[in-house]
């Protein structure tokens, strides 16, 4: 059985605007996003029947894990399966995209390991069905991200050589943050455009900051 070891990198939203609300409950956003070298470690072993997960118990049941859901979304139930070993390094509930990055890594990793020959666009479409951040992790970084996270445009911007990431002692799950945005009655931001100061990374704006400070 072939094995592939991959890293799933964390992301930082260097700016984030909430520019609209959708009838399905999702929020339209614009964000300048980059990956950083903080990463989860995944080992994929192909050929086993079904999808199994070896991961810390505190991550919850396997069927809710995005890495498992990604594998099941990509693989034919009648075909080869995969065993996923996940070693978490990215803090959960910190807005760093750990679960989405794991899902993207599984999609890209299985595509390579099992020679599935899916295009990046196909993988991003599958990823979008799993979570709004997943398509970003399947493309180049940094990127200008729009919609619910499904429209990703690579963008060349100067970035600092290092970032200091401070992780709070409490969790901030993304759905809770956007729910708080609505509960607080925060105003939508006017849309920005690529190649403005904000998209170039020289200006910072975060529409959801008050939700995290609650």
| Pick from 25-34, 37-46, 119-128, 204-213: least confident | 204-213
Whether the pLDDT of residue 196 is over 70: the answer is no
Q: Are strands 82-87 and 51-54 parallel, antiparallel or unpaired?
A: parallel
Residue 171 lies in a domain: no
Average pLDDT estimate for 17-26: 83
**170-190: pLDDT as tens digits:** 776 777 776 776 776 766 777
**50-104: pLDDT as tens digits:** 899 999 888 888 999 999 999 999 998 778 889 999 999 999 878 899 999 999 9
Residue 156 lies in a domain: no
Whether the pLDDT of residue 23 is over 70: the answer is yes
Residue 180 lies in a domain: no
Average pLDDT estimate for 148-155: 87
Number of other residues whose CB lies within 10 A of the CB of residue 206 = 16
| Predicted pLDDT at 11 | 95
pTM: 0.85
Residue 177 lies in a domain: no
CA distances from 31 to 96, 136, 155 (A): 13, 11, 11
Catalytic: which of 11, 40, 102, 150? 11
Residue 28 lies in a domain: no
Catalytic: which of 37, 54, 76, 133? 133
| Predicted pLDDT at 197 | 47
Residue 189 lies in a domain: no
Whether the pLDDT of residue 120 is over 50: the answer is yes
Residue 165 lies in a domain: no
Whether the pLDDT of residue 208 is over 80: the answer is no
Average pLDDT estimate for 149-165: 85
Average pLDDT estimate for 148-172: 82
Residue 150 lies in a domain: no
CATH of the domain at 42: 3.30.230.10
15: β partners = 32
| Domain count across the chain | 1
What's the chain's average pLDDT? Answer: 85
Active site residue 40: no
Is the pLDDT higher at 156 or at 110? 110
Nearest-angstrom CA–CA distance, 27 and 174: 11
| Predicted pLDDT at 203 | 53
Active site residue 183: no
For 41, the domain range is 3-14+37-137
CA distances from 209 to 46, 141, 204 (A): 42, 23, 11
* Nearest Cα to Cα of residue 80 among 115, 125, 36, 28: 115
Secondary structure, 3-state, the chain: CCEEEEEEEEEEEEEEEEEEECCCCCEEEEEEEEEEEEEEEEEEEECCCCEEEECCHHHCCHHHCHHHHHHHHHCCCCCCCEEEEEECCCCCCCCCCHHHHHHHHHHHHHHHHCCCCCCHHHHHHHHHHHCCCHHHHCCCCCEEEEECCCEEEECCCCCCCCCCCCCCCCCCCHHHHHHHHHHCCCCCCCCCCCCCCCCCCCCCCECCHHHHCC
């Amino acid at each position: 059985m072939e094995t592939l070891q991959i890293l799933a990198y964390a992301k930082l939203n260097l700016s984030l605007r909430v520019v609209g609300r959708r009838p399905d409950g999702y929020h339209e956003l614009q964000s300048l996003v980059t990956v950083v070298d903080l990463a989860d470690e995944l080992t994929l072993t192909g050929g086993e029947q079904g999808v199994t997960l070896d991961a810390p118990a505190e991550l919850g049941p396997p069927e809710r894990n995005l890495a498992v859901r990604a594998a099941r979304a990509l693989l034919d139930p009648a075909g080869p399966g995969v065993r996923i070993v996940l070693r978490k390094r990215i803090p959960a509930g910190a807005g760093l995209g750990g679960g989405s990055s794991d899902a993207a890594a599984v999609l890209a990793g299985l595509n390579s390991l099992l020679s599935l020959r899916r295009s990046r666009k196909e993988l991003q479409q599958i990823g979008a069905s799993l979570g709004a951040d997943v398509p970003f992790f399947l493309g180049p970084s940094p990127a200008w991200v729009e919609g619910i996270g499904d429209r990703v445009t690579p963008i060349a911007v100067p970035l600092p050589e290092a970032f200091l990431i401070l992780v709070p002692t409490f969790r901030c799950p993304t759905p809770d943050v956007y729910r708080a945005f609505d509960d607080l009655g925060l105003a939508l931001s006017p849309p920005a455009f690529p190649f403005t100061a904000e998209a170039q990374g020289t200006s910072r704006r975060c529409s959801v900051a008050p939700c995290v400070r609650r």
